[in-house]
Structure formats: C-alpha cells, structure tokens
A and B are shown apart, each in its own frame.
Chain A
C-alpha cells in the first residue's frame, strides 16, 4: 500500500485522534473556506452549505481513526465534504443539471470581439492581443489589490467552476483527484477548470492594464 502522508499530515492526524483543538483549528483554517465552496456546488443556499461543512467535519472526526493515509489528508477531507454535500443535495431533491450551474459548454474563454471576424484576412486571429506581463513587477502581481481582484473573480464564478478551480488551483489537488471527488468526467472537469481560469485571467488582465 502506498503511503503518501507527509510529516505535517501525520502530526495533524495524530492531533485529531487525540482530540487536540489546535490541530482541528489548524485544519479548519487551511481547508474550511475551500470546503464551503465545494459544498456550494451541490446545495442550494449558503446556509445549507455551512451546515454541510459542519456535518463534514463531524465525518472527519468520526472517520479519522480509520484514515489510512492512502491519499493526503487534504484530499480525504475534500472527498468527505463533497460526499456529504452530494448526499445533502439529493435529500434537498436538487438535481444538478450542469447547464444551469454553468458547465461552460459553449462559453468562450476569450470574448469573440478580441478576434478578427470571418470576413477578415486572418479570421480567428487576434484583433486585440493580450499584452505581455513579463515586465510586470512581482510586487504588483502579489499586491493586496491584485489578490482581491482574484478573490472577487472566484466569488463570481458559477458554483461548479468555482469548486473545480478551488480544488485544482487553490488547494493543488490533481485533475484525477478532483474528478473523483466531484464525480466529473475528465473532459467535464477540464472544461469547468478552463472556463474558471479564463474568467480569473480576464479579470486580472482588466486590472493590470
């Protein structure tokens, strides 16, 4: 059996098993906000999503003795919140038609006006190409203001795109882990991620002009 538990994870697992509040608080602060976003993909309101997160933590606490470290603690925690939210979503009798959640089919990554039209000599090529950010100072890229722009862009995403982006680009789970946790096909997961990234990029481009 492959064990991938990092020393930090091992300490946290031990802490949780011992009922250590500091370990719980640390985990909650690391993953709580991401868990809330995952929950929102499956349930209809913020209030219910918060209940899901509470329920998921109880699941984590109950299950921690059986946690074997075959995935990272993070991946395991996110699988639990996704499963809790799916169960709750079914109880809420909310079917999840992807179209209504913004699966991104038919959406363009870049606004069509940025490209030359079909009547032009090079149809589909850039009319207004993106600028290079190579000379952009790191202080500007990492400024509080830039971070707020990204956070707001993420908040505006449709819930399924937000959940996928959170797990991939914020939490750093692999494509496979995300698709498994959220029951997405590889293609579907990639489309959602691409749409989400494209929107965050567009918000950044606007801000950094």
Chain B
C-alpha cells in the first residue's frame, strides 16, 4: 500500500454520501473500504450517517394549520367550479 494513496479521515467523511449512493469510482470505493477496516472513528461516522438518514425519515412534518385551512378552502372552491 502506498502511503500517498491512503485516505485521511478528513477525506473519508466527505465521501460518505457518494459511497452510500454507490457513486464512487471502483478504485476510490476500494480505498474507502480499506480505510474503514482499520479506522473505528470513520466506521462510527459512517454508521452515524446511516442512523441520521434513517431517523430523518422518521420525523413528522406538519403544515401550519392556517395554510392547511387555506388549502382545503381552495380545494372546495376548485371543486365547486
């Protein structure tokens, strides 16, 4: 392994989304995965990003009640025409 080809943790954290989207070039993907083998910090970072994505999907988002009422009003208006 050539040291100058090795990724630093600082680089690894920037590649996580590309890695999860399977958008890394094969060589980069290999270097990324090699790094994870010996780096607990980056492994934890990747796991935390995965958890973040999963939890983000669980958050409920609501429209302001006022806007909801306006939209229903607009719907009734549209239906009446």
Task: Spell out A's residues near B (CB within 8 Å).
Answer: 19, 21, 24-25, 28-29, 32-34, 36, 50, 53-54, 57-58, 61, 108-110, 112, 115, 122-126, 129-134, 141-142, 146-147, 150-151, 154, 165, 169-170, 172, 175, 186, 190, 193-194, 197-198, 200-201, 204-205
Contact B63 A200, beta carbon cutoff 8 Å: no
Q: Assuming A53-B71, A58-B78, is B53 touching A169 (CB within 8 A)?
A: yes
Contact B61 A170, beta carbon cutoff 8 Å: yes
Q: Which of B10, B14, B72 meets A21, CB within 8 Å?
A: B72
The interface residues of chain B lying within 8 Å CB-to-CB of A58 are 74, 78
Map CB proximity to A onto B46-58 as digits: 1 under 8 Å, 0 otherwise: 0111011101111
Q: Tell whether B25 is near chain A: CB-to-CB under 8 Å.
A: no
Q: Assuming A142-B58, A194-B16, is B21 touching A175 (CB within 8 A)?
A: yes
The interface residues of chain A lying within 8 Å CB-to-CB of B63 are 28-29, 32-33, 36
Q: Assuming A32-B68, A197-B49, is B55 touching A146 (CB within 8 A)?
A: yes
Contact A133 B10, beta carbon cutoff 8 Å: no
Contact A24 B75, beta carbon cutoff 8 Å: yes
Query: Chain A binding site: helix, strand, loop or mixed by DSSP?
Result: helix
Q: In angstroms, how far is the closest chain A Cβ from the Cβ of B56?
A: 4
Can you show 17 pairs from A to B with CB atoms below 8 A apart?
Answer: A54-B71, A108-B10, A109-B13, A109-B14, A129-B40, A129-B41, A129-B45, A132-B40, A134-B47, A141-B51, A147-B55, A151-B59, A190-B23, A200-B52, A200-B56, A201-B49, A204-B55
Q: Assuming A123-B8, A170-B61, A204-B52, is B74 touching A57 (CB within 8 A)?
A: yes
Contact A28 B53, beta carbon cutoff 8 Å: no
Query: On chain B, which size bracket covers the interface?
Result: 35 or more
CA distance A21 to B18 in the complex (A): 41
Q: Which of A36, A115, A197 meets B53, CB within 8 Å?
A: A197
The interface residues of chain B lying within 8 Å CB-to-CB of A154 are 56, 59
CA distance A205 to B13 in the complex (A): 15
Q: Assuming A21-B76, A131-B44, A194-B14, is B56 touching A33 (CB within 8 A)?
A: no
Task: Spell out B's residues near A (CB within 8 Å).
Answer: 8-11, 13-14, 16-18, 21, 23, 39-42, 44-45, 47-49, 51-53, 55-63, 67-68, 70-72, 74-76, 78-79
Contact B44 A141, beta carbon cutoff 8 Å: no
Q: In angstroms, how far is the closest chain A Cβ from the Cβ of B69?
A: 11
Q: Assuming A125-B9, A169-B57, A197-B53, is B17 touching A32 (CB within 8 A)?
A: no
Contact B61 A34, beta carbon cutoff 8 Å: yes
Which residue of chain B is the closest to A55 with respect to CB atoms? Answer: B74
The interface residues of chain A lying within 8 Å CB-to-CB of B72 are 21, 24-25, 28
Contact B44 A129, beta carbon cutoff 8 Å: yes
